[in-house]
Structure 1
Amino acid sequence: MARERLMVMSPAPTANGDLHLGHVAGPFLAADVCTRYARATGHDAMFGTGMHFTQNYIVTAARRLGTSPEELRLRSADEVAATLAALGIGVDAFGCVDDRFVKMVLNFYDRLHRDGKLRLKAVPFPYLPSTGEYLTDSYVRGGCPYCLADGCAGLCENCAHPVLPGELIDPRSTADPAAPVELRDVDVLVLPLEEYREELVAYFDRIRPTMRPRLARLIDDMLSRPLADFPVTQPISWGIPAPFAETPGQVIYADLEGMPWSMYCTATAAESRGAVLGDDDELWHADSGTRVVYFLGLDASFPFAVVGVAMLLAHGGYLLPEQWITNEFYELDNEKFSTSRGHVVSGRELAAEVPRDLIRFYLSATGPEFQRTNFTRAALTKVAGTRLVEPWNRVVSKVDEIVGLGALPVSERSRSAAGRMVAQFTAAFELPGFSLAAAAFALVEQLARLDRWPVGSDDAGDFCHEVEVFLRCAAPILIDLAAKALPDTAIPLRPDAVEVVPARLPRLTGAGS
């Protein structure tokens, strides 16, 4: 393709409930802001996410809630789409399971299988003799063999290492914790990750400067020992049926659908913006000109950044993602968000009570980029009020006194100051150094500077000019304020206005209590 595209991805959440603020403050808001900034600076950017319909967490959540898995996943998809819209998170492709997606998953793995990239191997799985079921992911809990934390099989939420079901310490059924469990070997298809060690090491060495510290440490730890063969199929019934003769009755492992899902989202996002594609995976061809960046929780890094990249290498001819922007957990009142315990704040519910610009600002300022951070409603009210609403409204009052004076000159000093302001925001928004926290810091500091400005008759034009540049820089976060105040949200790289006509600006309302 002749024109470069930026594809921004956030791995789909499991379809077992709505998004809470922990999800939003992690990858979703950041991905939205990144996409908005890229478009504001003239790039062709797309954002894709969706729902993960095939994880067996849907089965266990439906059992707990007294509903069917199918009803739960459809309801969850509607709730998540509504929450994203309520917070102004614009998605070009909202991927869920449909015939096209299933076809892409099966084609992706059939080609690996046909090319001899998958191996049949006996792998131990916890087995429940009382029901005759094998236990994977949400069906089984036990101790993590790396950090000892208690959790389900699959991916350890505590240390982010992959945990095969047979590796759990003292595994127990989540449906019947007292029932005896034994280990049994099952022939499944695996991807021999160690065969791609050299290429993986080279890849991660190349992108190391873009990785946040915990991801870099996690990758180093994983690569410090032989990489385990990782199952591609599992001996359970929930999921996309595996079409391979060697594994009758098995399904494709849901955690390994990430790369074909990404291709699905990229294709549907491009099509929603008018592209006509020859192949579903066209934008992932190495010569397509596409740049791919992921925003994701650290605990999702392994299936995407390690196994996913290994699969792309196994196929050959595909581009590799240029960056993985990870986040830690966002807590609620100093405890982990927990849907099962009802310890959550829904993004939709909060947006019904608080202007979403204030939510986006506060989550940007307190998001868990490098360590766990905390949300409280009281802090949202105080921080958004004192650092955003009150200073902005004082700035508006100053502009109101200038409106009606006609065109006012803008000095070279102001053009230079505006350029430095743009540079501060650019440093926060540009890849690979993207940081919502840094953008929120720049927003607060520049707004405080405008608030302190003792505007006089000789610098009124400068003041209004810098207020407009500030709004353009803050627009990826303060979407509603920018939409009301600006004719467009393009961000000039060298603000070079020689005059400005002051216009009335909207005020912000508070977060309440």
Structure 2
Amino acid sequence: MTGPTIVISPAPTANGDLHLGHVAGPFLAADVYTRYARSVGRKVLFGTGVQDTSTYVLTTATRLGTTPQALVERSAKEVEATLAALGIAVDAFTGWEERFTSFVGRVVGELRAKGALQLRPMPFPYSPRTGEYLVDGHVAGTCPVCLAGSSAGLCESCGHAVGAGDLLDPRSTRHPEDPLEIREVKVLVLPLEQYRDRLRAHFAEAAGLLRPHAAQVVEELLARPLPDFPVTYPISWGIQAPGDDLAGQVVNPNAEPVAWTMYCSMLAAERRGLEPTTEDALWRPEAAAQVVYFLGIDNIHPFGISGLAMLLALGDYQLPKLFLTNEFYELDHEKFSTSRGHLVWGRDLAAQAPRDLIRFHLAANSPELQRTSFNHAELAALTRTRLVEPWNRVAAKADAWVWRGALPVSDRSRKAAARIVERFRVAYELPRFSLNRAAETLTQQLARLDRVEITAGGDFCHEVDVLLRCAAPILIDLAATALSGSDMLPDSDVRKVVQRRTIEPVRLPRLQPLEV
């Protein structure tokens, strides 16, 4: 018996809305895959949320002159609204609810009870003036691995975990002029080196499933001894660490992914009526679930290294193998920056352009294998020439056959339709899922139908119909409008109609171009 597919997009930090860098990477990919998988009859649970325990919540609240809690509440509403505006339909959306925070405490407590966590001294930058230890977003410097500028916690450039005390030339992000000291504090750590051989064996079994950059990062991380991973931090913002000897410490936000993913899976199952008995039920081998992560390359360590090590330490759980990473998405070839105002908010763009055009454009230049860039003029030009104009011409040709009743579909057309389905299938299926190839396939097939000389109306309308059903995970509004009156809704299995003998054409909607 096959269990559900659990699709996870890691929760963004609750310090603002989603910009296009978030959407073009994990969120759109996860949504398109979820829609496709359901269209072929699979049970899928899609979850995300916001992470409000990150220190970046504090630094952003300080910069904006608001309170952290107010920022969290506002950000959660904004993120949910942006997902909805772009048609990204999640089953579970998590936040800082007590049910979740208590589960995190139980997981950390269980790991400690099993002897998997050790209380060991670790170095942290310390500000004598404020009396604070500085971690993650509170301290910046140079990554000791790749020498790029980095904050503590995770290096966005090389994907390695960066201990706060290991940063080169550390400085406070809030008070850069303050002198810092390095002091040792006993915190709970997970000795990752104990799990390196098993992690290497696991990824050896998963050979070929990772995208090239992710495979490089994993290989690099596991080729050398792994440092202790801090599970608690000596700061006050976050989920309080369990244990009387950990007073004044919180759970490291980068140590939350295992508990969060389990909780998110359970919440998604509840929302879809599956009702798992416990938070971890879907992660047990008997559940036969498949876990798929859609995530940025900078998240490979907390989900794919320390996260998997925690699962090994906890006991009898399935280890995910599918980590579909993406690179960074830029704006006019510069990194998105909230502080500099160099960004495009997803919801703002959705108010300016039809979301089908946005989804198509982001799919076409999704940063799957390398950094790509957004530009308003390119959005207008690319969608006009590759989608809007050819679709409208194809729709006009198909409309000429409306009201002629049922038209015959030839064997040749049925074979062509089957090939269309297969080209989309290889773009949508795991582990080679690719938004780029799905958008390219749509472009190619539209161009073919645009230039073909119609000799049989039934054949032409049949292939247009099949193409639109295949494109439905991307062009959600066009498909919903065009197919609503047919014998099959967009989320049904498109392969069932490929072999039909007749088709009754319907009038097709048009797309509106985006003006620059």
- Name the TM tier (shorter chain): over 0.9
Structure-2 separation of matches of 1:61 and 1:367: 27
- For residue 482 of structure 1, the aligned residue among 479, 483, 488 is 479
Instruction: Assess if the C-alpha contact under 8 Å between 1:121 and 1:190 holds in 2.
Output: yes
State the partner residue of 1:505. 508
State the partner residue of 1:112. 111
Give secondary structure in 1 for the equivalent of 2:119: strand
Instruction: Assess if the C-alpha contact under 8 Å between 1:194 and 1:229 holds in 2.
Output: yes
Structure-2 separation of matches of 1:281 and 1:5: 14
User: What are the superposed Cα offsets for residues 403-456 of structure 1, whole Å, 9 maximum, x if unpaired?
Assistant: 011111101000001001100000000011100001001000011111111113
Q: Does 1:46 align with 2:45?
A: yes
State the partner residue of 2:124. 125
- State the TM-score, normalized to the length of structure 1: 0.98
Alignment of 1:58-137 (within 5 A): 58-137=57-136
Give the drift of 1:219. Answer: 0.7
Residue 7 of structure 2 aligns with an amino acid whose one-letter code is V
Residue 493 of structure 1 aligns with an amino acid whose one-letter code is R
State the partner residue of 2:403. 404
Instruction: Assess if the C-alpha contact under 8 Å between 1:409 and 1:500 holds in 2.
Output: yes
Give the drift of 1:322. Answer: 2.8
Q: Does 1:468 align with 2:470?
A: no
Structure-2 separation of matches of 1:93 and 1:182: 42
Instruction: Assess if the C-alpha contact under 8 Å between 1:120 and 1:246 holds in 2.
Output: no
Structure-2 separation of matches of 1:447 and 1:95: 39
- State the TM-score, normalized to the length of structure 2: 0.98
Give secondary structure in 2 for the equivalent of 1:402: coil
Give the drift of 1:481. Answer: 0.4
Give the drift of 1:395. Answer: 0.6
Give the drift of 1:292. Answer: 0.4
Q: Does 1:450 align with 2:452?
A: no
Give secondary structure in 2 for the equivalent of 1:278: coil
Q: Does 1:222 align with 2:221?
A: yes
Instruction: Assess if the C-alpha contact under 8 Å between 1:15 and 1:73 holds in 2.
Output: yes
Instruction: Assess if the C-alpha contact under 8 Å between 1:49 and 1:94 holds in 2.
Output: yes
State the partner residue of 1:491. 493
State the partner residue of 2:328. 329
State the partner residue of 1:423. 422
State the partner residue of 2:276. 277
Give the drift of 1:126. Answer: 0.4
Structure-2 separation of matches of 1:126 and 1:461: 71
Give the drift of 1:291. Answer: 0.7
Give secondary structure in 1 for the equivalent of 2:206: helix
Instruction: Assess if the C-alpha contact under 8 Å between 1:7 and 1:45 holds in 2.
Output: yes
Structure-1 separation of matches of 2:322 and 2:495: 24
Alignment of 1:104-253 (within 5 A): 104-253=103-252
Structure-2 separation of matches of 1:512 and 1:90: 27
Instruction: Assess if the C-alpha contact under 8 Å between 1:429 and 1:435 holds in 2.
Output: yes
Instruction: Assess if the C-alpha contact under 8 Å between 1:427 and 1:433 holds in 2.
Output: yes
Structure-1 separation of matches of 2:199 and 2:428: 28
Residue 473 of structure 2 aligns with an amino acid whose one-letter code is P
State the partner residue of 2:377. 378
Structure-1 separation of matches of 2:146 and 2:510: 50
* Aligned CA-pair RMSD: 0.9
Give secondary structure in 2 for the equivalent of 1:241: coil
Instruction: Assess if the C-alpha contact under 8 Å between 1:473 and 1:491 holds in 2.
Output: no
User: What are the superposed Cα offsets for residues 131-179 of structure 1, whole Å, 9 maximum, x if unpaired?
Assistant: 1110000111111001111121011111111110000001111111111
Give the drift of 1:58. Answer: 0.2
Give secondary structure in 1 for the equivalent of 2:178: coil
Structure-2 separation of matches of 1:315 and 1:223: 20
Give the drift of 1:123. Answer: 0.4
User: What are the superposed Cα offsets for residues 464-496 of structure 1, whole Å, 9 maximum, x if unpaired?
Assistant: 000010011000000000100113112333610
Structure-1 separation of matches of 2:169 and 2:399: 68
Structure-2 separation of matches of 1:206 and 1:87: 36
Point out where structure 1 has 5 or more consecutive residues left out of the alignment: none
User: What are the superposed Cα offsets for residues 88-141 of structure 1, whole Å, 9 maximum, x if unpaired?
Assistant: 000000011101101210111111011100011110000111111100001111
Instruction: Assess if the C-alpha contact under 8 Å between 1:443 and 1:474 holds in 2.
Output: yes
Instruction: Assess if the C-alpha contact under 8 Å between 1:60 and 1:138 holds in 2.
Output: yes
User: What are the superposed Cα offsets for residues 31-67 of structure 1, whole Å, 9 maximum, x if unpaired?
Assistant: 0000000000100111100000100100000000000
Give the drift of 1:3. Answer: 5.0
State the partner residue of 1:414. 413
Residue 507 of structure 2 aligns with an amino acid whose one-letter code is R
Residue 477 of structure 1 aligns with an amino acid whose one-letter code is I
Give secondary structure in 1 for the equivalent of 2:430: coil
Instruction: Assess if the C-alpha contact under 8 Å between 1:6 and 1:292 holds in 2.
Output: yes
Structure-2 separation of matches of 1:23 and 1:312: 27
Q: Does 1:366 align with 2:365?
A: yes
State the partner residue of 1:32. 31
State the partner residue of 2:302. 303
